[in-house]
Amino acid sequence: MSWLTDSDDEGDWAEYDESDARVRPNPKGNKPRSKRRPDHSDAVPGRVFSVDRGRYGVWVGEGTAEERQLVATRARELGRKAIVTGDRVDLVGDTSGDEGSLARVVRIQPRTTLLRRSADDTDAVERVIVANADQMLIVVAAANPEPRPRLVDRYLVAAYDAGIHPILCVTKTDLADPAEFLANFAGLDLTIVTSRSDDVPVDELRQLLEGHTTVAVGHSGVGKSTLVNALVPDANRATGRVNDVTGRGRHTSSSTVSYRLGSGWIVDTPGVRSFGLGHVDPASILASFTDLAALAEDCPRGCTHLPDAPDCAIIEAVERGDLGEAGRERLDSFQRLIATLGS
């Protein structure tokens, strides 16, 4: 599975058709095992920006003169496969995007990343939040509400598990100095941005987000909407159309909302209240710390790499000073994230 490959090249996927995979070669030459399905070679590619009870908002022709939003349902041939915000899909039916038109999603392209959560930490059942995001913007306030390193740790675990690059944005720096809070993350390879509503670093953030699909997460009240409003002009708000058709209120049940930002996207997650990590395998966290992962090859089988782990090769290397002073901070951060999974 290519979690970390670049998602921008749609050409790689152009010829892939999931329905082909189900039609097996038939050496005996008798009746095919499964019904031949239409190949939908005329299908139009698009990107899902909103999901609302069986209706999908899809952006088609991004960056071209034919750019448009349309509303789609799922084709029966998709079976039980879920379509989530960020999915790249192929559409047939009425793809005009005209008022009242309805297209059909016939294919979901392979996903480069999948951000998941469970209801709580004991729940191994995962729910998908967003597909194909390559960055996570973790928004936390310097004060009001007070920043909690443990909550940020949880977001980081989810990001590393999904192979998504985290960016930490500290808001409300007019209210408090975030230095002490930020010291918690000194050992991480983390892009950090600070912001205050009277001086939002719009250029810096645009540069970081341009060309990427960035999922924004944060506790209620941290100033996430203030940031998005400063970044995204109204004209780029890919919202609302789904509800025009269904006649329901705005985003009553959808848990994500997407915004265009140049050639990039911001996916906001206002409905996501908890971030259970019951589905996360500690090995996927270690894999994100490539320097530590290399050392772990000499660890005893089943090593937890936690402070009480006997003969842990990572701990021994750090104690010898092999990774310098920064190595100690890095090991601390890593151990805190791993411990998050067990707490």
Segment near ligand GTP (CB under 6 A); pick from 46-54, 64-72, 203-211, 218-226: 218-226
Under the binding rule (CB under 6 A), the answer on residue 202 touching ligand GTP is no
Euclidean distance between CA atoms 291 and 332, whole angstroms = 14
For residue 224, give every residue at least 6 positions away whose Cβ sits within 8 Å of its Cβ, in sequence order, or none.
Answer: 139, 216, 218, 268, 270
Euclidean distance between CA atoms 339 and 150, whole angstroms = 10
Smallest separation (angstroms) from ligand GTP to the CB of 55: 24
> Does 305 show up as a binding residue in the annotation?
yes
* Interface contacts to Zn ion, rule CB under 5 A: 299, 303, 305, 312, 314
Whichever of 54 and 240 has its CB closer to ligand GTP, that residue is 240
Smallest separation (angstroms) from Zn ion to the CB of 162: 23
Euclidean distance between CA atoms 67 and 225, whole angstroms = 26
Whichever of 261 and 314 has its CB closer to Zn ion, that residue is 314
Backbone angles phi, psi at 257, to 5 degrees: -135, 135
Q: Provide the residue type at 91 as one letter.
A: L
Query: Among ligand GTP, Zn ion, none, what does residue 4 contact (CB within 5–8 Å per kind)?
Result: none
> Does 191 show up as a binding residue in the annotation?
no
Residue with tokens 């269904």: 246
In the sheet with 213-218, reading across from the earlier edge strand, the strands are 191-194, 165-171, 135-141, 213-218, 264-268, 257-261
> Does 222 show up as a binding residue in the annotation?
yes
- Helices 324-342 and 149-162, interaxial angle, to 10°? 90
Q: Which of residues 113-172 bind ligand GTP (CB under 6 A)?
A: 171-172
Query: Among Zn ion, ligand GTP, none, what does residue 221 contact (CB within 5–8 Å per kind)?
Result: ligand GTP
Query: Among ligand GTP, Zn ion, none, what does residue 175 contact (CB within 5–8 Å per kind)?
Result: ligand GTP
Q: Which of 24, 69, 22 has its CA nearest to residue 44?
A: 69
Query: Among Zn ion, ligand GTP, none, what does residue 163 contact (CB within 5–8 Å per kind)?
Result: none
Q: What is the largest CA-CA distance in the chain?
A: 75
> Does 226 show up as a binding residue in the annotation?
yes
Whichever of 138 and 317 has its CB closer to Zn ion, that residue is 317
Binding string, residues 245-284; x marks residues near ligand GTP by CB under 6 A: -------------------------x--------------
Whichever of 280 and 299 has its CB closer to Zn ion, that residue is 299
Smallest separation (angstroms) from Zn ion to the CB of 306: 8
- The two structure tokens encoding residue 119: 């209801």
For residue 31, give every residue at least 6 positions away whose Cβ sits within 8 Å of its Cβ, in sequence order, or none.
Answer: none
Euclidean distance between CA atoms 140 and 224, whole angstroms = 8
Rounded to 5°, the CA angle 211-217-219 comes to 155
Whichever of 163 and 223 has its CB closer to ligand GTP, that residue is 223
Using DSSP, state whether 282 is helix, strand or coil.
Answer: helix
Q: Which of residues 219-248 bind ligand GTP (CB under 6 A)?
A: 220-226
Euclidean distance between CA atoms 272 and 85, whole angstroms = 13
Element (H, E) at 165: strand 165-171
Euclidean distance between CA atoms 231 and 91, whole angstroms = 30
Q: Count residues contacting ligand GTP (CB under 6 A)?
A: 15
Segment near ligand GTP (CB under 6 A); pick from 21-29, 89-97, 215-223, 320-328: 215-223
> Does 218 show up as a binding residue in the annotation?
yes
> Does 302 show up as a binding residue in the annotation?
no
Annotated binding site: 171-174, 218-226, 299, 303, 305, 312
The residues of the shown chain that bind ligand GTP, judged by CB under 6 A, are 171-172, 174-175, 196-197, 218, 220-226, 270
Annotated binding site for GTP: 171-174, 218-226
